[in-house]
Chain A
Amino acid sequence: MRERFLTGYNDFVLPFVLGMAFIISYCVVGMVRIILQLPAEDRKRFFISLVTPATLWKNIKDIFLKCLIHVDIWKRNKLLGYMHSSIAFGWFMLIVIGHIEVFLYTPHRAKLFYYPIFFRYFVAETESTMKGALIFFLMDLFLLIVLSGIALAIIKRVRSVMFGMRRTTNPSFFDLVGQYSLWAIFPLRLLAESFTADISGGSFLTKSLNHVFTSFLSNHANMLPAWWAYSCALGVFFFVLPFTRYMHIPTEILLIPLRNAGIKIRNARKGLAKAQVYSCPSCGLCIDACPMGVMKANIRDTTVYLNRQIRRQNEARIEEISDKCLLCGKCTAICPVGIEGDKLRIAQRSIRKYNLSPDYSGIPVSGLAAAAGDFSGTGHGERILYFAGCMTALTPAISRSMESILKKAGADYSFMDRDGGICCSRPMFMAGRFDAAKQLIEKNTEIIRASGADVLLLSCPICYKIFKEKYRLDGIRIVHHTEYIDSLIRQGVLTVEKDGTRYAYHDPCELGRGCGVYDEPRRVVEAAGVLAEAAKNRKESICCGGSLGSLTLGFDKRRAMTENAVTNLMAGSPDRIATACPLCRSTFGRYSGVPVEDIAEIIDRKTTKTDRS
């Protein structure tokens, strides 16, 4: 390879250079701002994580697998995965191999950052260049891979169903500008490199095209407009990037280390929240996932639109979207980037100003603590404190079954809120009213600690989640009744009569996605009957529609959601629906054609007294 120009410069590189300079400075400023916005302890934690070998390795691995290969999207849909990784990984490889070329043939130009991008324009092939045939081939191969990705992206705009997406996001104006310039970059690169291929060399793609072009475009002067167009496409893309969804490309590289450092959202708009909002690629996977989307309703209230409105600072819409959400967490579970739609919304709710704030500090706890400490005293093993919660108080069949199971198991138990108790605070927490929630947490902590229990047993996943996450109950094991019943069955304390009844198990949001309990309830159901899985289950389970999460959805709006969730559960034609949440149970009970039961009720029905009691 030899250089064709002494200066190593042509004016056409300017759009690219300016665009690149703009976007790099924008990203650096943005990154510094986000890091500065983190609370001091989080920032320290972040920096430490960056030099800790384990997290460092995880960061590199995650960035490679998520940003370039897009493994999560592959798992979802192969075609969608290929589309994303072909563009991201293909482009990345073009940049890498481009730099290798520069270092191999014109090392003295390595300091010019536009040189690898427009390398083919500046060099001419010599006899000795044949050694580079492999590199030429790779460059053309990756260009072809990227082009195939772009072709798929264009098809996806028209027929997203092919890619496993029923609905996609409505692009904003800047998104469209960014998208068209991105789509233009690679065909223009092919065009430019093909024009130059007889001088600078090329492989199967560029060389062949060059032969076609020379047959009717003999003049080499035509190459310059093509290179200008290529550079302009890059320049436009970089200039609009901060205002488009493509901002997710640089932001995700920051989000991954932040997440791996274990940082949580502390501010509704700053720090991690900001990184998450800007990491949203507007792919729209959350639109199909959202349980509010049945009958094509509430599509504009999904996480992708929340992110867009936060970027636009449209406060009225942010409030509407944040308050409407059921907080089922499904968008978070399926988001390929890892945006926490539910937590982001709770954060938005937390900055709301209220004229009235409840004060729970005056609730007396001594009476409740005394009642909680009144264990049945069978002397078998651990002291189990059973907290039914308000939702279970409204479904007394569940607490009654649970008490019966505890008796059958001969457990040394106490029913903490038999005569009323204090709210676990999860509803307050969901409403973003953290101070009020904290007061309730303190009250309950006092009662539970005073009781001298070893285990806190819960029937309601809503309570379970907050007890696990926000309570400091060191030394006290927190279990949901499905886990407890599962352990009783496995230890042989309970003997369950199995029959042929088919049960569809509904994963409650707070128990499944919220706490990761998927297998224990299924094992329990299988001990009593046959498990008929729903069409969408586990992580993808559909919210019953009764969630306390939404502050604004009325019963009339929720009906379609519940009916949709019931239809999903009926996929395996079950005889009964089993669930493990009192709220899901009463919500489904209103609309289901088959009986709906809590796992505790099923087990109580199908067990007889054992010798232990």
Chain B
Amino acid sequence: MKENIVIIGGGIAGLEAAGQLLKLGYSPIIIERTERLGGHVASWHRLFPDMSPAKELVDGLVAAASGANIFLNTEISFVNRLKDSYNIMLSNGISIITRIMLVTTGFSVFDASKKEEYGYGVYDQVITNRDLEHWFNGNADPRIDNSAMNAVGFVHCVGSRDEKARNSQCSKVCCITAVKQAIEIRQKFPEASVYCFYMDLRMFGKKYEDFYINAQRDYGIRFIRGRVSEVSENIEGKVVIKAEDTLSGKPVKVTLDLLVLMAGMVCSQASSRVAGMIPLPTDSDGFLKSKDNVYGVVESPKEGIFYAGACTGPKTVPEALAEARAAALDVHLFINGLK
């Protein structure tokens, strides 16, 4: 009998894994909670470091995965453990018996209103990286459209590396995303001054450092090392931010037309929900726990259950894709082992 492979989550990791499994001759089932495939990346505009359009990537992945059984607008109602398999009941009434599940439930963007001192949800000129990416993608946003952009600020590490916000981990991609978005802002508004307030700049990936130098040299983006302490609003309705420039040791105060909060990645509620049903353990950072954080990142502690992408921690797009391929291969080897 042909093995059912259930991929939970139709983001880029789920799509890529499905595409690979199709090539290996399997017919995976993708369960997607929302009405469209592609996850977070589908609503993004361009990807660092080469500014490649996100749409192209997602369209390619969707096309490659089109042979899979895809259930949109579908959630898992419950999972029953059978003797050596699982019975998955879907919200559309279909039930699936499987021995193999690939969890690609991804992450959620940190709710920036929880860091109230930055004024998200309080002041009209404060948005998040996601809001900005949506706007780049052509969605109207009154908070941006109505402003004449003279000064724009980016705050790094919003809800990342922050114990008070219940997230002590680094979200990995926000530094480089801020560099990318700052450059894009300068491209749209060449007259605007752009400031980035950071703790550390973690330019770990291929060409990231060049991208950062580019931002400073070619786009004149000012990087200020120091966390923003508070955000307020002046009489003209502009946001005033206070921070400390820890390199010069001086407090700085800047009046901005737009403040972009680089909200980090947290474990998505959907991941926690799925983990609770199977059940799968959670690691100390709140993300799902791998069998081994060095050697078995795409394996769960449970036999037949695999991970790919940001459900186990913050990942960049290429990392999520690489994990998806690794997981597809693991699934293939696991099925071979069953015979």
Whole-angstrom CA separation of A555 from B121 in the bound complex: 25
Assess whether A586 is in contact with B116, with CB atoms less than 8 Å apart. Answer: yes
Whole-angstrom CA separation of A420 from B119 in the bound complex: 16
Say yes or no: is B232 at the interface (Cβ < 8 Å to chain A): yes
What residues of B have a CB within 8 angstroms of the CB of A395 in the complex?
Answer: 116-117
Least CB distance, A246 to chain B, in whole angstroms:
45
A586-B116, A589-B114 as given contacts; A555 in contact with B163, CB under 8 Å:
yes
Partner of A400, one of B114, B164, B165, B233: B233
Say yes or no: is A154 at the interface (Cβ < 8 Å to chain B): no
What residues of A have a CB within 8 angstroms of the CB of B3 in the complex?
Answer: none
Whole-angstrom CA separation of A395 from B231 in the bound complex: 9
Which single residue of chain A is at the shortest CB-CB distance from B119? A396
Interface of B is mostly: mixed
Contact with A along B98-122 (1 / 0, CB 8 A): 0000000000000000101101011
Contact with A along B312-329 (1 / 0, CB 8 A): 000000000000000000
Assess whether B230 is in contact with A393, with CB atoms less than 8 Å apart. Answer: yes
Assess whether A418 is in contact with B232, with CB atoms less than 8 Å apart. Answer: yes
Assess whether A555 is in contact with B230, with CB atoms less than 8 Å apart. Answer: no
Which single residue of chain A is at the shortest CB-CB distance from B121? A397
What residues of A have a CB within 8 angstroms of the CB of B242 in the complex?
Answer: 420
Whole-angstrom CA separation of A393 from B231 in the bound complex: 8
- Name B241-281 residues within 8 Å CB distance of A: 242
Assess whether B233 is in contact with A394, with CB atoms less than 8 Å apart. Answer: no
Least CB distance, A226 to chain B, in whole angstroms:
66
Assess whether A397 is in contact with B116, with CB atoms less than 8 Å apart. Answer: yes
Whole-angstrom CA separation of A420 from B232 in the bound complex: 10
Assess whether B122 is in contact with A555, with CB atoms less than 8 Å apart. Answer: no
Say yes or no: is A590 at the interface (Cβ < 8 Å to chain B): yes
What residues of B have a CB within 8 angstroms of the CB of A394 in the complex?
Answer: 116-117, 230
Which single residue of chain B is at the shortest CB-CB distance from A556? B163
Assess whether B117 is in contact with A590, with CB atoms less than 8 Å apart. Answer: no
Assess whether A396 is in contact with B116, with CB atoms less than 8 Å apart. Answer: yes
Assess whether A396 is in contact with B123, with CB atoms less than 8 Å apart. Answer: yes
Assess whether A555 is in contact with B123, with CB atoms less than 8 Å apart. Answer: no
What residues of B have a CB within 8 angstroms of the CB of A420 in the complex?
Answer: 242
Assess whether A396 is in contact with B163, with CB atoms less than 8 Å apart. Answer: no
Whole-angstrom CA separation of A397 from B242 in the bound complex: 17
- Name A507-557 residues within 8 Å CB distance of B: 554-556
Whole-angstrom CA separation of A586 from B165 in the bound complex: 10
Assess whether B122 is in contact with A400, with CB atoms less than 8 Å apart. Answer: yes
What residues of A have a CB within 8 angstroms of the CB of B165 in the complex?
Answer: 590
Which single residue of chain A is at the shortest CB-CB distance from B230? A393
- Name B205-234 residues within 8 Å CB distance of A: 230-233
Assess whether B114 is in contact with A396, with CB atoms less than 8 Å apart. Answer: no
Partner of B114, one of A393, A418, A554, A590: A590
Say yes or no: is B36 at the interface (Cβ < 8 Å to chain A): no
Whole-angstrom CA separation of A397 from B123 in the bound complex: 9
Which single residue of chain B is at the shortest CB-CB distance from A585? B116
Contact with B along A392-424 (1 / 0, CB 8 A): 011111001000000000000000001010000
Whole-angstrom CA separation of A590 from B230 in the bound complex: 18
Partner of B164, one of A393, A396, A397, A555: A555
Least CB distance, B284 to chain A, in whole angstroms:
10
Say yes or no: is B302 at the interface (Cβ < 8 Å to chain A): no
Assess whether B166 is in contact with A396, with CB atoms less than 8 Å apart. Answer: no
Whole-angstrom CA separation of A94 from B282 in the bound complex: 65
Which single residue of chain B is at the shortest CB-CB distance from A591? B166
Least CB distance, A148 to chain B, in whole angstroms:
53
Whole-angstrom CA separation of A394 from B228 in the bound complex: 11
What residues of A have a CB within 8 angstroms of the CB of B121 in the complex?
Answer: 397
Least CB distance, B115 to chain A, in whole angstroms:
9
Contact with B along A91-125 (1 / 0, CB 8 A): 00000000000000000000000000000000000
Least CB distance, B161 to chain A, in whole angstroms:
13
Least CB distance, A374 to chain B, in whole angstroms:
12
Contact with B along A581-596 (1 / 0, CB 8 A): 0000010011000000
Assess whether B117 is in contact with A393, with CB atoms less than 8 Å apart. Answer: yes
What residues of A have a CB within 8 angstroms of the CB of B163 in the complex?
Answer: 554-556
Whole-angstrom CA separation of A555 from B163 in the bound complex: 7
Which single residue of chain B is at the shortest CB-CB distance from A400? B122
Least CB distance, B283 to chain A, in whole angstroms:
15
Whole-angstrom CA separation of A447 from B248 in the bound complex: 29
Partner of B231, one of A396, A556, A590: A396
What residues of B have a CB within 8 angstroms of the CB of A556 in the complex?
Answer: 163
Partner of B122, one of A393, A396, A589: A396
Least CB distance, A375 to chain B, in whole angstroms:
15
Whole-angstrom CA separation of A310 from B319 in the bound complex: 57
What residues of A have a CB within 8 angstroms of the CB of B114 in the complex?
Answer: 589-590
What residues of A have a CB within 8 angstroms of the CB of B164 in the complex?
Answer: 555, 590
- Name B139-194 residues within 8 Å CB distance of A: 163-166
Which single residue of chain A is at the shortest CB-CB distance from B165? A590
Extra A-B contacts (16), CB below 8 Å, given A395-B116, A396-B122:
A393-B230, A394-B116, A394-B230, A396-B123, A396-B232, A396-B233, A397-B116, A397-B122, A400-B122, A420-B242, A555-B163, A556-B163, A586-B116, A589-B114, A590-B114, A590-B166
Residues of A within 8 A of B (CB): 393-397, 400, 418, 420, 554-556, 586, 589-590
Kindly list the 7 A-B residue pairs having the minimum CB-CB distance in the complex, ordered from nearest: A394-B117, A555-B163, A393-B230, A397-B122, A395-B116, A396-B122, A396-B119
Cβ contacts A to B, 5 pairs, < 8 Å: A393-B117, A394-B230, A396-B119, A400-B233, A589-B114
